[in-house]
């Protein structure tokens, strides 16, 4: 039995966080994963939340019965520049205070850093983790980390190894399906990648994506050739090339009972219907709430 979380990214432009909680309830969701937005926690910026917003969100959770189960921040805690890394650790500390105030139990985040300076970024990541361990443990928070395209680590197995290196029960791995063709370089089975994470697999991001490595790399054409960029999408299940029969079969066989976040982006014109169908499909395949 899994917990199905809604990432309300498609509603960020026109709804407040409180409004997104009401929207989640309307769509049938009981849990929210709050992704970056300028008035709350923004990519690489200090969180813009005051006590009045915390009170408003707390009241909205009580009114709707929808709980913010996770924050999905992106702070560049692996930046090779030491001054910038320290600023990002400061951002982290404030976000963890907010999570504690709102009783959010899970932080789902990314490695960040610079893929062109992976060794230096890895060292900075571990330095930041060492500084933040007391904060995570003081608040009793769990954390999962994914390897995002253009992070200092983009390979599934290497990302799992880096998480293992921290060796804390509360810090684990998140598998992101729409990044699967980056994580496995277009040649890895999704079940095989999740299996490598073993007991460290504690969170999933679910959306579909086309394989950018297919057709000798011509599925997407990016100019100039060789530009230092990454491409992917976050589509509804069925609008892509993930082997969902294999994915759901693997998750059922291992008895996965963690959290699952629905993270479809870029289809605002049909958001309500897509997000209802996504929730129904996941519950039909895995059970849960």
CATH code assigned at 17: 3.20.20.150
pLDDT < 70 positions in the chain? 212, 215-218, 230
* pLDDT for residue 112: 97
Dist CA 31 CA 228 (whole Å) = 36
Report which of 178, 170, 118 is spatially closest to residue 146, judged by C-alpha positions. 178
Q: Are 114 and 80 in contact (CB under 8 A)?
A: yes
Residue 267 tokens, joined = 């289809």
CA distance 219 to 84: 36
The predicted pLDDT at position 223 comes to 75
pLDDT at 25: 98
CA distance 46 to 256: 34
For residue 229, whether the previous peptide bond is cis, meaning omega lies within 30 degrees of 0, is: no
Instruction: Please tell me the predicted confidence (pLDDT) of residue 119.
Output: 98
- Report the alpha-carbon distance of residue 147 to residue 159 in Å, rounded: 6
- Residue for token digits 């230096």? 120
> Given this model, what pLDDT does residue 231 score?
72
Please report the pLDDT score of residue 220 as a whole number. Answer: 76
Q: How many domains does one find in the chain?
A: 1
Look at residue 185 in the predicted model and tell me its pLDDT: 80
pTM for this entry:
0.94
Q: Which residues form the domain of 159? A: 3-286
3-state secondary structure of 20: helix
């Amino acid at each position: 039995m899994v917990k199905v979380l809604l990432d309300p990214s498609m509603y960020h432009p026109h709804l407040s966080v409180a409004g997104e909680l009401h929207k989640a309830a309307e769509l049938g969701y009981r849990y929210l994963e709050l992704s970056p937005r300028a008035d709350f926690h923004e990519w690489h910026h200090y969180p813009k939340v005051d006590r009045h917003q915390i009170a408003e969100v707390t009241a909205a959770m009580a009114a709707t019965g929808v709980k913010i189960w996770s924050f999905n921040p992106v702070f560049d805690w692996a930046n090779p520049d030491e001054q910038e890394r320290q600023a990002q650790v400061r951002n982290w500390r404030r976000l963890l205070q907010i999570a504690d105030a709102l009783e959010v139990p899970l932080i789902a985040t990314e490695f960040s850093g610079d893929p062109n300076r992976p060794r230096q970024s890895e060292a900075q990541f571990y330095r930041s983790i060492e500084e933040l361990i007391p904060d995570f443990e003081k608040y009793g928070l769990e954390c999962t980390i994914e390897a995002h395209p253009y992070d200092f680590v983009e390979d599934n197995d290497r990302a799992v190894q880096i998480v293992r290196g921290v060796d804390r029960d509360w810090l684990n791995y998140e598998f992101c399906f729409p990044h699967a063709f980056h994580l496995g370089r277009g040649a890895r089975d999704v079940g095989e990648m999740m299996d490598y994470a073993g007991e460290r697999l504690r969170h999933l991001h679910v959306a579909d994506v086309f394989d950018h490595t297919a057709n000798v790399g011509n599925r997407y054409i990016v100019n100039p050739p060789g530009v230092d960029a990454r491409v992917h999408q976050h589509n509804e299940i069925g609008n892509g090339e993930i082997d969902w029969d294999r994915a759901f079969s693997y998750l059922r066989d291992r008895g996965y009972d963690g959290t699952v976040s629905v993270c479809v982006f870029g289809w605002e014109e049909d958001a309500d219907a897509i997000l209802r169908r996504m929730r129904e499909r996941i519950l039909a395949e895995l059970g849960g709430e």
